[in-house]
């Protein structure tokens, strides 16, 4: 076994595994489970999971290699992309249809740029002679052969829609054109529709020998300078465009048995719920893969989450131990039980207790423990030290990580300035557990604070139940229900199902609330 300090625990951000030097490592540690094959089904258009559950990891794994006749591409949306959309909205007065039209052109361009000669069915057409290649080439020439298939660059096509439409009309691509169409700046939607139509017709003529999947990532991050409602309208347009392309274009292309095009959006559950898509519940059941790493203290040894943790520790060991349970060799320590029916709590049980049952949480805990042991001069040990876990330093570091993760979650709704105000809310609680009455008293104090220190009250703070729901949605709090001398513990991430992706926070006289253990040290509630 390797010493703790010599373990390569990988990256907490799966995006790093897209780099060439890290691909082999990722291939070794990635645990192939049912979600991977489910994600490749032709009718799946949404990959849904909480932050840290592995959405980017699945997309990156598939993009690193051709898996089961699937070629996959991951494209990230960045703040600058949304800024462009925001400017377009102000100049073009965009509605849902307008956003959808822009996104359809962008997605078609990204897909068209991703198709290579080797992806074309042999004996049908040479890639260089296909209509789609002619369109892509025309766009390349317009941008002096500098065009790259990134979203921010694709937006240039939108900005120059009149010129691009005229160029496409003037080339011989083997699809029907209408010479009477007037391409003008004042007819923005007409220009976009024309470009979309030519792309669509061109793609219908390309016969693929493999599936090509386009994953769109980065949707969870709202740029600070883009208002919440405008941002939501933009990604609602993206979701609508994705649905239309997948169901009305790609699925109806003839002779597509050997290869199909598909767009998949990576979304958090709360963002999906906020989009309020038509037939949203049916789409979740039929067209989504929802990442769920939940397990129990009694069953964790057979869980996918445990397999991931064990794989990270085992892949780099010398000798043939790939299938061994090496976790128990590195984590031998046991702590007093949190349930009277157990003799003790294992290390993994404690990891579950302070986490949200996410792979990233488990990895972060291991890395922080490793860092603590290195700092203390214990890195040469071949097992993790329970005293490192009990230390104030580790618990402070983990609580900082947990709060940072919470900030990433909540800044979808709040600006950075608003979140800093939000931190005052925690200072109003002296105990980790509280009733609804106590919560409302502190909420009133919080509103008074906002009145005195902020320009306006954010919509998600104004009403007590709205804020309580947000705290529950973000897993900041849990609800403890007392019934017939028993207690039932409700966490939002544990309550989610395909049929109920946004469970309501329990409220009642038999309910008390408790802050998550991961926040204890940060909020001065003591050790977890």
What is the C-alpha to C-alpha distance for residues 330 and 347, in angstroms, rounded to an integer?
A: 10
Arithmetic mean of pLDDT, 505-511: 94
Dump pLDDT digits (tens) for 422-441: 889 999 999 999 999 999 99
Q: Is the dihedral of CA 354, 359, 365, 366 positive or negative?
A: positive
Where would I find the H helices in 344-435? Answer: 347-353, 359-375, 386-390, 392-410, 416-427
pLDDT of the residue at 124: 44
Number of domains making up the chain: 3
pLDDT of the residue at 361: 96
Structural domain of 216: 22-290
Same-domain pairing of 266 and 297: no
Instruction: Give strand pairing partners of 73.
Output: 214
Per the domain annotation, does 41 fall within a domain?
yes
Query: pLDDT averaged over the chain?
Result: 86
Same-domain pairing of 254 and 348: no
* Residue at a domain's end among 236, 255, 290: 290
What is the C-alpha to C-alpha distance for residues 504 and 403, in angstroms, rounded to an integer?
A: 23
Arithmetic mean of pLDDT, 479-493: 92
Ranges 93-107, 391-405, 466-480: which has the least confidence: 93-107
Per the domain annotation, does 504 fall within a domain?
yes
Arithmetic mean of pLDDT, 495-499: 85
Same-domain pairing of 99 and 184: yes
Arithmetic mean of pLDDT, 153-172: 75
Helix (H, G, I), strand (E, B) or coil at 284: helix
What is the C-alpha to C-alpha distance for residues 250 and 256, in angstroms, rounded to an integer?
A: 9
Same-domain pairing of 97 and 151: yes
Higher pLDDT, 331 or 125: 331
Helix (H, G, I), strand (E, B) or coil at 149: coil
Per the domain annotation, does 395 fall within a domain?
no
pLDDT of the residue at 526: 83
User: What contacts 317, CB < 8 A, 6 or more positions away?
Assistant: 1, 2, 326
Per the domain annotation, does 34 fall within a domain?
yes
Arithmetic mean of pLDDT, 67-93: 85
Place of tokens 């061109």: 202
pLDDT confidence bin for 74, thresholds 50/70/90: very high
* Residue at a domain's end among 390, 422, 442: 390
Exposed/middle/buried for residue 497 (C-beta within 10 Å: 0-12, 13-18, 19+): exposed
What is the C-alpha to C-alpha distance for residues 360 and 371, in angstroms, rounded to an integer?
A: 16
Helix (H, G, I), strand (E, B) or coil at 198: helix
Arithmetic mean of pLDDT, 75-81: 86
Lookup: tokens for 1:
């076994």
Per the domain annotation, does 10 fall within a domain?
no
Same-domain pairing of 349 and 414: no
What is the C-alpha to C-alpha distance for residues 134 and 174, in angstroms, rounded to an integer?
A: 9
Same-domain pairing of 224 and 347: no
Per the domain annotation, does 11 fall within a domain?
no
Is residue 374 within 8 Å of residue 397, measured between CB atoms?
A: no
Same-domain pairing of 44 and 168: yes
pLDDT of the residue at 144: 59
Same-domain pairing of 338 and 420: no
pLDDT of the residue at 358: 94
Higher pLDDT, 466 or 81: 466
CA 106 to chain CA mean position, Å: 20
Arithmetic mean of pLDDT, 217-242: 91
As a 3-state breakdown, the chain gives helix, strand, coil percent values, each rounded to 5, of: 55, 10, 35
Same-domain pairing of 306 and 282: no
What is the C-alpha to C-alpha distance for residues 433 and 520, in angstroms, rounded to an integer?
A: 11
What is the C-alpha to C-alpha distance for residues 218 and 220, in angstroms, rounded to an integer?
A: 5
Per the domain annotation, does 276 fall within a domain?
yes
Same-domain pairing of 164 and 37: yes
Q: How far apart are the first and last CA of the chain?
A: 30
Element (H, E) at 511: strand 511-515
What is the C-alpha to C-alpha distance for residues 518 and 385, in angstroms, rounded to an integer?
A: 20
Lookup: tokens for 472:
């529950």
Is residue 172 within 8 Å of residue 134, measured between CB atoms?
A: yes
pLDDT of the residue at 98: 84
Query: At 7, phi and psi to the nearest 5?
Result: -70, 130
What is the C-alpha to C-alpha distance for residues 259 and 449, in angstroms, rounded to an integer?
A: 58
* Residue at a domain's end among 257, 290, 323: 290
Q: Is the dihedral of CA 172, 175, 180, 181 positive or negative?
A: negative
What is the C-alpha to C-alpha distance for residues 31 and 8, in angstroms, rounded to an integer?
A: 17
Per the domain annotation, does 399 fall within a domain?
no
Is residue 246 within 8 Å of residue 264, measured between CB atoms?
A: no
Same-domain pairing of 420 and 312: no
Lookup: tokens for 403:
């709060």
Ranges 28-32, 266-270, 443-447, 502-506: which has the least confidence: 28-32
What is the C-alpha to C-alpha distance for residues 27 and 476, in angstroms, rounded to an integer?
A: 33
Q: CA–CA distance from 170 to each of 24, 164, 524 (Å)?
A: 46, 10, 68
Q: Give percent above pLDDT 70 in the chain.
A: 90
Same-domain pairing of 218 and 336: no
pLDDT confidence bin for 367, thresholds 50/70/90: very high
């Amino acid at each position: 076994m390797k010493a703790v300090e010599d373990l390569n625990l990988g990256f907490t951000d799966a995006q790093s595994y897209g780099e060439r030097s890290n691909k082999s490592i990722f291939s070794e540690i990635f645990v192939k489970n049912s979600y991977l094959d489910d994600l490749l089904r032709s009718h799946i258009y949404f990959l849904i999971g909480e932050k840290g559950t592995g959405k980017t990891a699945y997309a990156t794994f598939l993009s690193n290699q051709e898996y089961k006749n699937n070629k996959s591409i991951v494209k990230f949306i960045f703040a600058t992309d949304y800024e462009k959309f925001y400017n377009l909205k102000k100049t073009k007065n965009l509605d849902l249809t307008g956003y959808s039209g822009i996104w359809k052109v962008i997605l078609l361009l990204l897909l068209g740029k991703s198709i290579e000669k080797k992806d074309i069915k042999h004996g049908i057409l040479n890639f260089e002679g296909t209509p789609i290649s002619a369109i892509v080439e025309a766009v390349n020439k317009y941008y002096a052969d500098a065009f790259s298939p990134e979203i921010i660059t694709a937006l240039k096509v939108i900005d120059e829609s009149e010129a691009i439409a005229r160029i496409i009309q003037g080339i011989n691509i083997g699809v029907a054109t209408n010479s009477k169409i007037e391409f003008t700046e004042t007819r923005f939607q007409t220009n976009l529709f024309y470009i979309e139509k030519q792309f669509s017709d061109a793609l219908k003529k390309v016969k693929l020998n493999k599936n090509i999947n386009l994953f769109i990532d980065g949707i969870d991050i709202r740029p600070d300078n883009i208002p919440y409602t405008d941002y939501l309208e933009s990604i609602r347009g993206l979701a609508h465009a994705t649905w239309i392309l997948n169901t009305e274009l790609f699925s109806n292309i003839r002779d597509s048995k050997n290869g199909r095009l598909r767009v998949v959006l990576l979304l958090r559950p709360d963002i999906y719920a906020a989009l309020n898509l038509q037939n949203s519940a049916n789409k979740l059941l039929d067209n989504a893969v929802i990442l769920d790493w939940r397990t129990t203290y009694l069953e964790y040894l057979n869980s996918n989450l445990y397999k991931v943790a064990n794989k990270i520790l085992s892949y780099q060991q010398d000798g043939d131990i790939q299938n061994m349970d090496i976790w128990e060799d590195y984590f031998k320590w046991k702590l007093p039980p949190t349930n009277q029916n157990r003799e003790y709590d294992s290390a993994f049980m404690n990891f579950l207790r302070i986490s949200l049952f996410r792979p990233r949480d488990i990895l972060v805990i291991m890395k922080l423990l490793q860092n603590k042991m290195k700092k203390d001069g214990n890195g040469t040990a071949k097992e993790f030290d329970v005293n490192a876990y009990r230390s104030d330093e580790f618990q402070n570091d983990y609580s900082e990580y947990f709060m940072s993760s919470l900030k990433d979650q909540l800044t979808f709704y709040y600006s950075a300035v608003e979140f800093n105000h939000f931190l005052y809310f925690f200072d109003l609680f002296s105990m980790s557990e509280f009733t609804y009455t106590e919560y409302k008293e502190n909420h009133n104090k919080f509103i008074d604070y906002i009145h005195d220190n902020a320009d306006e009250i954010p919509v998600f703070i104004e009403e007590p139940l709205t804020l309580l729901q947000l705290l529950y949605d973000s897993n900041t709090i849990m609800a403890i229900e007392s019934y017939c001398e028993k207690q039932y513990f409700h966490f939002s991430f544990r309550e989610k199902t395909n049929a109920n992706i946004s469970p309501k926070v329990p409220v009642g006289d038999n309910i008390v609330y408790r802050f998550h253990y991961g926040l204890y040290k940060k909020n001065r509630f003591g050790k977890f």
